[in-house]
Amino acid sequence: MGLPAMSLAVVGVQYPNKDKSNRQFEIAVCKPGERIELRPEPKNIADENAVAVYSERGVQIGYLTAERCGRIGALIRQGREVNAVFQREAQYGAWIRVAFDGEEPKVDLDPDPFKRAKLQSDGVDEESDFYPDPEWED
């Protein structure tokens, strides 16, 4: 069985591109289902595992989060096929959907995939009006 498809956050959208194009503007014109290109940046001075995210028009919209870029970048460098599409704009940047080994990603229009995953892992019925209180660290 192959790797499961996943939604990934795109961050760093507030920074300008070297060519002066605007990442936030480019995200605003992206449509759900548009192709996204992932490009590892091994010479990135901030993080050698960085993976840049580009729209189908070739404009950089940001980076994968540090938690995900190491694994996704390694898969790309190993020659694994990684297909990505734009899902939606987010307050901090954007969501993309990736699938592996020739699979095509299906757009997941859930407004908050992190919240859904957390509720499911806590055994909470998503359709109910009950939401547990957050657990705060001491």
Whether 94 is in a domain gets the answer yes
| Structural domains counted in the chain | 1
Per-residue model confidence as pLDDT tens digits over 24-83: 999 999 999 999 999 999 999 999 999 999 999 999 999 999 999 999 999 999 999 999
**126 pLDDT exceeds 60?**
no
- What's residue 92's pLDDT? 87
CATH number of the domain encompassing residue 56: 3.30.70.2330
Type and span of the H or E element at 66 = helix 66-77
Whether 136 is in a domain gets the answer no
* Distant-in-sequence, close-in-space partners of 52: CB < 8 Å, separation ≥ 6: 38, 39, 40, 41, 60, 62, 63
Q: What is the mean pLDDT of the chain?
A: 84
